[in-house]
Amino acid sequence: MAGKQVAEFPPPRPALTRTPKNPIDKSTIVSIYPRAIVERKYTIEPGIFEIPPGRLDAPSLLVVGTSSWWTYTGENRPTIEVPVSSVQIADALIGDFCRGMLECDMVDARPGLIFVPGEVSLFELKTNEKIKEKLLEAAAKQKNWYMRLVKVADSLWARSNGNPLAIPDDARLAAEELNLKDKVWMQDYKTVELDKCFACGSLKNPLYPVCPTCKAIDPNHSLAKDIKFAGQ
């Protein structure tokens, strides 16, 4: 009886071979975000993109070309390659990274990343007025984003009773970039050892007498005697 046998493996799919890329299809990602970015897109080829750290006075560049993804049309049928233009790739890389960042609204507050169609050099960045204007706009939006992160960090510090683990790493970066290193939560969190609350066992900052979880007051803390409640 013809047909597949029990536990028979399906035939292997044909090897994927890319068609020649369009050498003209290039776009340049420009970053003034001061940290390296690695974006991995496992459904396209090429799919790994590394953007070096940059600053407004020294932007970093990543030139991207065409990528491709494939659609499987069935057994004994050809696998179809679907090219993706460099503009789509650059726009997706920036958008996917920024949308996952705390307090980024993609309008007025976002990391400093832009892209320019074509392959652009650092010299062109410094001499092209339109690109310079876009970079200054990106710098202003990045500063807005930093300010939002610092505001969130202030709130988290107060709500967590000074727990340094509550502060996002990007907020520390924002404080450094805004020259706000005197923020109390800018101390190295590794130097602060958390103690267990004697009442509930939750971790708490030993610098404060009140447990943020159960609100119990540590009677052995030096500041416990100074706490006064309403009506006292």
pLDDT digits (tens, 9 = 90+) for 194-219: 778 888 888 787 878 888 888 888 88
- Kindly indicate the confidence band of residue 187, based on its pLDDT and cuts at 50, 70 and 90: confident
- Kindly indicate the confidence band of residue 83, based on its pLDDT and cuts at 50, 70 and 90: very high
Which residues face 82 on adjacent strands? 69
> What's the confidence (pLDDT) of residue 193?
64
Residue type, 202: S
Q: What is the CA radius of gyration of the chain?
A: 26
- Residue (of 172, 41, 32) closest to 96 by Cα position: 41
| Residue 22 maps to a domain | no
Residue 62 CA, chain-centre distance (Å), reads 17
> What's the confidence (pLDDT) of residue 91?
97
Average pLDDT (128-153) is 96
Do 207 and 132 have their domain in common?
Answer: no
Checking if the pLDDT of 28 tops 90, the result is yes
Helices of type H across the chain:
86-99, 122-127, 129-159, 169-177
By percentage, how much of the chain surpasses pLDDT 90?
A: 56
Do 116 and 217 have their domain in common?
Answer: no
Instruction: Show the tokens assigned to 163.
Output: 């727990």
How many domains, in total, are found in the chain? Answer: 2
The residue segments making up the domain with residue 166 are 146-226
| Residue 1 maps to a domain | no
Average pLDDT (146-164) is 92
Residue type, 72: Y
Do 194 and 122 have their domain in common?
Answer: no
The answer to whether the beta carbons of residues 80 and 70 sit under 8 Å apart is yes
Query: Which of 90, 111, 139 is the last residue before a domain boundary?
Result: 139
Query: Which of 105, 139, 173 is the last residue before a domain boundary?
Result: 139
Do 45 and 113 have their domain in common?
Answer: yes
Do 104 and 186 have their domain in common?
Answer: no
Checking if the pLDDT of 172 tops 60, the result is yes
Do 201 and 97 have their domain in common?
Answer: no
> What's the confidence (pLDDT) of residue 164?
85
Share the mean pLDDT of the chain. 87
Average pLDDT (75-100) is 90
Do 193 and 134 have their domain in common?
Answer: no
> What's the confidence (pLDDT) of residue 71?
84
| 47-to-20, 79, 201 alpha-carbon distances in Å | 17, 19, 46
Do 166 and 125 have their domain in common?
Answer: no
| Residue 198 maps to a domain | yes
Residue 164 CA, chain-centre distance (Å), reads 20
Checking if the pLDDT of 106 tops 60, the result is yes
Query: Which of 78, 105, 139 is the last residue before a domain boundary?
Result: 139
Do 37 and 130 have their domain in common?
Answer: yes
- Kindly indicate the confidence band of residue 190, based on its pLDDT and cuts at 50, 70 and 90: very low
| Residue 93 maps to a domain | yes
d(CA 34, CA 40): 19
- Residue (of 105, 102, 84) closest to 41 by Cα position: 84
> What's the confidence (pLDDT) of residue 7?
56
